[in-house]
Structure 1
C-alpha cells in the first residue's frame, strides 16, 4: 500500500487496474469516519476494467493527520494525490462527505472531471432535529457511544447487527479531533446555489431510507443540477456496503452511457 505526504498528513491510497485502456481513471472518495474499504465491491469490479484510485482521507483509516477545517482542504488532499499520480482527467465517485469533496473539485477544476457520481450526498448540510440533538450532546457522552449512535442510524432497518458493529469499531478508531472538526466542516458546507454551474455529467444515487442525509434534501439538490440523472435504491445512508451490487450496476450503466 503506497502512501503520500501532503501538508502534514500521510495519505494511504490504492492505485489499481489496467493503465492501457481509453477510459479515464475512477477516483473513489469515502465519507465521514469511514475509510477507502467502503468501496471494496466497486473497486473489485471496476479494477478489472480500468484504473481505479481510492484513498483514506487524512485522519481516517490508515492515513494520519488532522487540522483541516473545511471540505475544500480535503479536496486539496485529493487533488494533491492525483497530481502526484499525474492523473489530469478522472471520474469522481464520492459518498456522503466524499460527495461534498467531489462537488468542490468539480466547481474548482471542472476541466479535470469527466463525470461525477454522488452517493448519499447533498450540496447544503441541513440536519434533522434528531441529528441536531445528537450532535449537540456529542461533548456530553463517551466518544464511542456518540460514534455508535451515529453509525447505527446510518443503516436501513434489517441490516445485520454484527456488520454494523464492525463499522462502529472502525469508525471509533477515527480520532475524536478529526471527527468533530470535520463535522464542523460539513455543517458549514453549502454549494447549493452554485451547483447550477456544474456541467459535468452527474449521477445522483441515494438510499430511500437515508435519515442521515434525507432523500428530500438530495432531491432539492437534484433540482439545482442542470442535467443530473437520479437513482433511488432501497437502502440507508451506507449504500456502498448495504447494496453494493446495485450501486455497482448503477455506476456501470452511467459510465458506459453516451453523453
Structure 2
C-alpha cells in the first residue's frame, strides 16, 4: 500500500520535474537546485518513505517506493513527469520508469546504475545510532558523536541534515532508521521492474565515484538503451560538489524534451 509522501511543489504549468533524493537525504537537500529550476518549469521534490517529513513505515523495496511516487503524481493530477533521481532515488526513478513508462516523459539518473550493490553503510548507521543514544543538545555535540564513526566532515554535515529538535530540546533523528536498517538489503538490490525503459534518458556520473564505472555501462544500456552518459569531475554527491555543472547538464537535456 502506498503512503502519502511529504513534498515540495513549486507550482506552474507544463510537465513537471520530479526530484527524488538518495539514501538518508530529503527534498530539503535540493532546495538550491529547485529554486533555479522553478524559473523554467514546475518542480516537485519528494521525501521518500522513512526520510524527511514523510511517514515511517516498514518496507524499502523499490516497487513500494515507486508506487508512493506514483500515488503522489495521481494526487497532484500529474499525468506525466520528468524524473530525476540521485543514488537510491535514481533506482526509484528507474523502477517507476520500468513499471509505468507511460508516466515518464524523460529520465535523469544521477550516479547510480540499475544493479545490486554491496553493503557499505555500517559506519554511517553506527554514527546515527550514536547520535540517537547520545541526545546532543546542539549541533556541535551532534557532530562530535558522528565523528566517532565518520571521519569525513562533508559526510557528517550531510548526515546532520536529518537532525531535528525534540520536545525536550535535544537533537534527534527525523528519519525512520529502524525501518531503513530493517530493509537495507532491499535498498542495495537492483531496481524493480523488468525489461528496458526506451524513453529519453540521461545518466550523470562522478569521475571520482565508483557507482557507475565503465564496466557497468553495457548492463546499464540493456536497461536504459537510450541513455546518454555524462561525467562530471566529482564524487558520488556530484550535484552538491559541482552544482553549476550539474545544472548545466540537466538543463541542456530537459531543453531537448518536448513537454
For structure 1, the 5+ residue unaligned runs are 1-5, 156-160
Residue number among 13, 16, 36 corresponding to 2:7 in the alignment: 13
| CA offset digits 1:25-57 (Å, max 9, x no partner) | 100011111101222232111111111101111
Residue number among 37, 55, 58 corresponding to 1:64 in the alignment: 55
For structure 2, the 5+ residue unaligned runs are 132-144, 164-172
TM-score, scaled to structure 2: 0.78
Q: Secondary structure at the match of 1:11?
A: coil
Q: Secondary structure at the match of 1:38?
A: helix
TM-score, scaled to structure 1: 0.78
Shift in CA distance, 116/182, structure 1 to aligned 2, threshold 3 Å: farther
**Pairwise CA RMSD of aligned residues?**
3.1
Question: Which 4+ runs in 1 deviate beyond 4 A?
Answer: 137-142
1:1-259 to 2 correspondences below 5 Å: 7=2, 9-19=3-13, 23-127=14-118, 131-132=119-120, 135=122, 143-144=129-130, 161=153, 163-171=154-162, 173=173, 174-190=175-191, 194=194, 197-211=196-210, 213-216=211-214, 218-224=216-222, 225-257=224-256
Q: Distance in 2 between matches of 1:34 and 1:223?
A: 27
Tell me the equivalent position of 1:3: none
Q: Distance in 1 between matches of 2:146 and 2:205?
A: 22
Q: Based on CA coordinates, which of the two structures has the bigger radius of gyration? A: 2
